[in-house]
Amino acid sequence: MTMIDIQVIASGSSGNCYKISDQSTSLLIEAGIRFRKIQEAINFKMSDISGCLISHSHLDHCRDTDKVLKVGIDCYLSEDTRKSLGVSGHRVHVYEALKIFEIGTFKILPFPVQHDAENHGFLIQSQNGGKLLFATDTYYLKYRFKGLTHIMIECNYSTDILEANIKDGVTPAQIRNRVLKSHFELENVKKFLLANDLSSVREIYLIHVSGTNGDKERFIEEIKEITGKPVF
């Protein structure tokens, strides 16, 4: 039995949503797709979900937060994101960067990441010993982590594919600067992973891969090669 089960419901610029569970507590991370699709993905067992973490205010991460709240699931987000979404009520919980909070058997530490909007990654530790890093929509991670068992990390694009697409007119040139300053590039992901303690890592998930400027199969193989870990 794995320490933390990960279900990728949706990942990418069209919408993001993930479910994690340690067999005692189940959480959603992001609500950036239509609520009906979230329900279908978890077989309509919404009562099994103890909370939903929202990283930031871009719609592909928070689109149907209000509907998640309406079915009685507590949502955890920063004050900046709360204001952007205009949500309130007893099920809305505002977290602060670098302050731990608990949901069931999980302890969660939000930390700031580098994006073009206020954004947070999450270090999520289970009472069963599982330790998950979640980070997306960032071009750099300044923190280092020990004892991770699971990693969910953005691997959005590679420079060579991006530049080729710009040259061929597939990607507008003006998009380049935003991508460079808001998303994690393949070689930078490799550097980050190699700078961290991977000795206990059981699984690595590459998330938010660009459909235009990314290559899922290539990225998986290259990360497998340098880490020696199962990569999804």
User: Residue 78: which CATH number?
Assistant: 3.60.15.10
Q: How far is Cα 51 from Cα 58, in angstroms, rounded to an integer?
A: 19
In a domain, 34, yes or no: yes
Query: Could you tell me the pLDDT band of residue 181, with boundaries at 50, 70 and 90?
Result: confident
Q: pLDDT exceeding 70 applies to what percent of the chain?
A: 100
In a domain, 232, yes or no: no
- When pLDDT is averaged across residues 55-81 and rounded to a whole number, the result is 97
Instruction: Count the domains in the chain.
Output: 1
Q: How far is Cα 25 from Cα 72, in angstroms, rounded to an integer?
A: 16
In a domain, 188, yes or no: yes
Domain that holds residue 60: 5-227
Query: Could you tell me the pLDDT band of residue 178, with boundaries at 50, 70 and 90?
Result: confident
In a domain, 72, yes or no: yes
